Amino acid sequence: MIVKRILLLLLPLVFFLPSCHKATKKQQLSNAESKAVIAKIKQKGKIIASTDFNSINYFLYRGEPMGYQYELLQAFANYLGVKLEIVVNNDLQKSFECLDNGVCDMIAMDLTKTMSRSKIVDFSVPIIHARQMLVQRKYSHKSKIEPIRNPINLAHKIIYVQKGSAFAERLKNLQQEIGDTIQIVEDPVSSVEELVLLVAKGKIDYTICDEHLAGVYERNYPELDIKTPVSFQQNLGWAVKKGSNELLKALNNWMTNYKGSKEYMLTYSRYFDNPRSVEFAQSEFNTLEKGIISRYDRLIQKYSAHIGWDWRLLASLIYQESGFQPRAISRGGAVGLMQLVPNTAKKYSVSGKSSPDFQINAGVKYLKLLDKEFMSSVHDQNERTKFVLASYNVGINHVQDAQRLAKKYKKDPNLWTNNVDWFMIQKSNPQFCKDSVVLYGTCHGKETYNFVNEVFERYYHYKNVTDK
C-alpha cells in the first residue's frame, strides 16, 4: 500500500506550491456576525474544532482519547463553559474548508502563520515557536549516506511534504535562496507523522517536521536524524474564521493565561518530554496505524450486530464498565468485561473466569432484553439507547421511576435528553424520592446521567479515529 502510494506520487513531481486555500472564500465577518459566532457556540453548548489525528495531537490509547491538542482544546472548552466536539481532518485543505463552511468553529493544530494564510483566517497568539527541520535517516554502513547539514545540499533532492503545508512554501522559498531546484512532492494522503514513518522505514529519503516534534519522533524512531533546520523560528497557532473577533479575543485571553499555567507545563511535558511517547506511538492499543480500540474488537463487532448497535458504541460501554479487563470484579461483585451484577451474571451463567466471547455475548443479551422493554414506547433508536444505557448502569426500575416523574411534571417520559435525564438526577433528591410515583426509592442518579454522557462522548471519539 505504501509503495503504491509513493509510485502514484512520483508521477507528477511538484516543483511549486499551489495555494491550498484558493477554494476558500475570502470572507470578512461583520461585527454583528462576529458576536453571533460566540453566541451560537454558547447557545448550542459546544465548540467544534478541527484537528489532526496522530500520536501526539489526538489519538486513542487503551480506549481513552488523549493528545496535546486534545487536552488544550478540552481546557479551552471548559473555559468557555461548553462541551468539545472534534472533527478529524488530516487533510489541511479540508480543515480550511471546514472552517470556511461553518462546519467547525476553529482549527486547532500546529498551523504555521504565513502571510497567505493570514489573508483568509485569523490566527491566535502563538502556542509555540518552532523551526522547520529536515527529517532524514542517520548514517549507516549499509547506505553510507551522510546526513545533510547544509540546506544548500538539498538541491535536486526529492522531499515529500503534506499537501497544503507551510513546509512546501518554505521549500519553494529555499529554492530561491540556494539558486537551485528542490523536487517537492506534496502528498495528498499522508499526514506529517505518516511521512516521518516512511522515512524511518526507508520508503522515502526526506520530509519536514516542526522542531518541537523532532525530539518525540527521534525517540520513537531512533534511526532518524532530525537535527538540520531549514527555516528560522516561526509562529504556530490556532485559526478562526476571518473576522471572528469575539471568539478570537476569548481564545487569546485564555491562551495567554493558560500558557503560563502549571497545567499547560504538565500537558506539554506529557507529550513532548515524556519517554512514554514511544509507548503511545508503538503500542498495539494506539489506533494510529492499526485502527484498534481493544484486543476484543472482533468480538465486539460480532456481537454488536445482534443488537443493531454501532460496534464502537458497544466498545465505549465496555471500556466504561471494565476498561477492557475480562477479569475485573467490582466491590459490588459485578464481573468481567461487561460488569454484570451478580444476579444478572448468574442468569447468564457468567463468571470472572468466563471467556471474553462468552462475557460479551451475555452482556449483549442483557442489553437486548433492556432494549425490548423500551421498544414500544421509545421509537427513536438514539434516545432508546440512552434509556438502555441508563438501565444497564442503575437498573430499569430506577429509570422507570424517572419516567414517571417526567410524566407527572409534564415532561416527555419517552425522551431522555432534557426530559427524563433531569429527573434521573433528582432520584437522589428527597423532595422527588418521596413522590408517590417513585416506587424504588433513592439512587445515585447523577452517576447514571454522567455514565450515559461519558459512554456517548467516548463513542464519538471512537468514530473519529476508526472505520465503521
Q: Do 261 and 238 belong to one domain?
A: yes
The CATH number that applies at residue 258 is 3.40.190.10
- Structural domain containing residue 260: 1-292
Q: Which of 260, 292, 324 is the last residue of a domain?
A: 292
Q: Band the pLDDT of 138: cuts 50, 70, 90.
A: very high
pLDDT at 11: 36
Mean pLDDT of all residues in 337-345 = 95
Q: Do 346 and 427 belong to one domain?
A: yes
Phi and psi (nearest 5°) for 18? -75, 140
Q: Do 69 and 189 belong to one domain?
A: yes
Q: Do 282 and 305 belong to one domain?
A: no
Q: Do 115 and 60 belong to one domain?
A: yes
| Whole-number Å distance between alpha carbons of 396 and 370 | 8
Mean pLDDT of all residues in 91-96 = 92
| Whole-number Å distance between alpha carbons of 162 and 185 | 8
Under DSSP, is residue 282 helix (H, G, I), strand (E, B) or coil?
helix
Q: Name the active-site residue from 223, 321, 383, 447.
A: 321
Phi and psi (nearest 5°) for 185? -110, 115
120: closest CA among 186, 247, 29? 29
Phi and psi (nearest 5°) for 332? -90, 0
Write down the residue that cell numbers 480506549 correspond to.
Answer: 63
Q: Which of 270, 292, 314 is the last residue of a domain?
A: 292
Of the ranges 156-165, 286-295, 337-346, which one carries the lowest mean pLDDT score? Answer: 286-295
Q: Do 317 and 377 belong to one domain?
A: yes
Rounded percentage of the chain residues whose pLDDT exceeds 90: 76
Q: Do 214 and 91 belong to one domain?
A: yes
Q: Do 167 and 48 belong to one domain?
A: yes
Q: Do 325 and 281 belong to one domain?
A: no
315: closest CA among 462, 100, 179? 462
Give the pTM: 0.78
Q: Do 71 and 154 belong to one domain?
A: yes
Under DSSP, is residue 208 helix (H, G, I), strand (E, B) or coil?
strand
Q: Do 325 and 273 belong to one domain?
A: no
Mean pLDDT in the chain?
Answer: 89
Burial of 227 (0-12, 13-18, 19+ CB in 10 A): middle
Q: What is the pLDDT of residues 101-125, one digit of tens each?
A: 999 999 999 999 999 999 999 999 9
Mean pLDDT of all residues in 214-226 = 91
Q: What is the pLDDT of residues 37-61, one digit of tens each?
A: 888 999 999 999 999 988 899 988 8
pLDDT at 298: 95
pLDDT at 252: 97
pLDDT at 301: 96
Q: How many domains, the chain?
A: 2
The CATH number that applies at residue 384 is 1.10.530.10
Q: Do 195 and 342 belong to one domain?
A: no
Q: Which of 262, 292, 322 is the last residue of a domain?
A: 292
Q: How many CB atoms are closer than 10 A to CB 82?
A: 19
CA separation, residue 42 to residues 78, 237, 316, 454 (Å):
12, 23, 27, 21
Catalytic residue check, 321: yes
Note whether 368 and 306 are within 8 A (CB): yes
Q: What is the pLDDT of residues 350-395, one digit of tens each?
A: 998 999 999 999 999 999 999 999 999 999 999 999 999 999 999 9
For residue 6, pLDDT over 50 is answered with no
The angle, 0 to 180 degrees and rounded to 10, between the axes of the packed helices 445-465 and 311-322 is 130
Please say whether the dihedral angle defined by the alpha carbons of residues 11, 12, 15 and 20, taken in this order, is positive or negative.
negative
